[in-house]
Structures are given as C-alpha cells and as structure tokens.
Amino acid sequence: MIRRALALALAMAAVWQADAAELTVGAVQITDFGGVPLDGPVDRLIWRGGIAMVSQDDSFGGLSGIAFTSTDQHVALVSDRGNFISGQLAYDEGNRLFGFIGVRIEPIQNSKGAPLPRQYSRDAEAITTVLRNGVPEAVRVGFEHLTRVAEFELTDMVPGGAAKEVEVPEWLTDTRTNESLEAVCVAPDASPIAGSTLLLTEGVIDDDGQHVAWLLGQNDKGPLSYQSSPAVNPTDCAFLPNGDLLVLERGVSFLAFTMTLRRVRAQDVRPGNLMVGEVLLQASGGTIDNMEQVAVHTAPGGETRIVLGSDNNFNDWERNLLLEFALAP
C-alpha cells in the first residue's frame, strides 16, 4: 500500500511538473505617454518607456501582480487564473525596456502541492518578494474570492512548490469577494516597519469610509487604513528603497480606465494610522489600460524605476502593458 501510494504521488507530481510550459511573448516598445516623449516629465515622474506584450498562447494574460526576483530584472507575475508567469525583462543599449524573454508559465499550487482546484481559489491578485539576508528567497501572493496569503519558495528566481499559508486576520479570510485583498507588499530595511507585510484591501471599507489595511509583523502588527478616493480604488502597492509606500489606484470613467499613483511617507505606514498619499501620477484613456501592478527595481543603468502593469482580463480589447517611470529630481 505504501509503495502504491508513493508511486501514485510521484506520477501525480510528474503530471503537475509537466504543466509548466515555455511561452513566447512578443513585445512592442512604447515611446509616447499621452503626448510626452521619452525622458519627458509626467506629473511628478519621468517617462522612461514601456512595452505592450502579446502571445499566441491564450494562457498568457490576466496579469494582476508583478515582483522582481533578482537584481538582473527577473520577474514573477501572477494571473487571475492561478498561474505564475516568470521571465526576464530585456533592455536595449539605452536602458529602455524592449522585451520579456525566457518566459514560462506554471500553475500555482496549494498546500498539498497540487494545482489550485477551482477558479474560486485561483484568483491571485498580488505578489511581493521576500528577502532574507538581502537575498530573494520567496514570494508572498495575495488572493481574493477565497481570500488568503500564501508564500512560495524561489528556485533559480522562479516561484513554485507547495503553498505555505500565511496567517491573516479572520475578518479578512471571511471577506470572500472579488474586492477583498488587492495589494500585498513587504517593507524594506530602510522602513520604520522593515520586514513587515502590508495587506491593503480594495473594497473593504471601515466605519470612517476608508480602505481597511493590516500589517503582518512581529513588532509592527495590526490595523491601519488608507484614505479613500471617490473615483479610484487601490489595486497594488510597492515600497521605494527609502521606505516610502507607493499605492496604485484604478477606476473607470466614461467607459475608460483611469489611474492614480500615490506616495505615502514611510513614517505614516504604521499600525493605527490613516495613510494619506500625495499624487505622483494621474492618467486616463488610451495612454493606459486596466492598471493593476506596481513594482520598484534598479534598471540596468542603476536608476531606480517604477514599473506599472495592466491586466487584460483575457479580453481582446484590453492590453498587457508594462510602463516605466523614474522619480523626478
């Protein structure tokens, strides 16, 4: 019986591993942002260019979160259908983003090492990298519908393996909608809450009308909130190296997407506080799309850049964009 069970487990593991596949992703460079040329100012940022990504494989899309898993531009993304998409961002001689290469896709696994069984459990909305001793060793993924947070180990910069459930507040677990947990990010060493994980909700509103948030940490743990806006809701978050928090917000106006990127001061990200962000960037219409991803990294030339990405929802009329900006001096 033991041998039979072991053989079955090995066979199933082989099948699940075979679900990992390579993808060819084409990219078209974007040099104009709402009439602003490369290196031109856009609100409080500098436009550095971007790409629109396409693939003949219909499993590519629904990209809801992005995280950098190495210092040489390897990234991992999560999709609405419960997949990890991993690869490397490619830059040209001018340090402009021009492609997404070495791409592979594989199912996100549950705690038993099996692919997530139902769409209700697959709706991954956020991903952030966990550093240990300064080295990327894992990612944390936030899910809505079956609301939860799980950690996955990195192997050769690619996340995978069985999920390790991360304990979150019961009220969050019980909020089983598609507007629950939308953003997850880990504070850097320079932050007053270094190492803590921030959870930010899209549609969970407290008695004061603000978005409910929570900090997971040993010394910094508990509730806080994020100031609501009438036309947009939070869709992702990321920390700058100095500990300031970036929050990406998205809305719809006159049948077009709108987007706001805000910065919250590092000292304002603490338990019990209302986080209020200053606007760094606002955009709408054809310049953007359904913006759901934000990440911060060091570009090949050494510049700190902000990447904003979109989720095409597997629709032909929406795009998979990656747009890069630098902070204005």
What does the pLDDT look like over 191-236, one tens digit per residue? 999 999 999 999 999 999 999 999 999 889 999 999 999 999 999 9
Euclidean distance between CA atoms 329 and 109, whole angstroms: 43
pLDDT at 218: 81
- Which residue, 188, 280, 190, 290, is CA-closest to 238? 188
Neighbours of 167 (CB within 10 A): 9
Euclidean distance between CA atoms 263 and 208, whole angstroms: 21
Tokens of 42: 């856009």
Euclidean distance between CA atoms 24 and 7, whole angstroms: 34
pLDDT at 100: 98
pLDDT value at 13 more than 70 = no
What does the pLDDT look like over 27-80, one tens digit per residue? 999 999 999 999 999 999 999 999 999 999 999 999 999 999 999 999 999 999
Positive or negative, the Cα torsion across 279, 292, 198, 170? positive
Tokens of 291: 């913006």
* pTM for the predicted model, two decimal places: 0.93
What mean pLDDT do residues 248-258 have? 92
pLDDT value at 143 more than 80 = yes
Widest CA span in the chain: 68
Tokens of 21: 């596949």
pLDDT value at 12 more than 70 = no
What does the pLDDT look like over 168-183, one tens digit per residue? 999 999 999 989 999 9
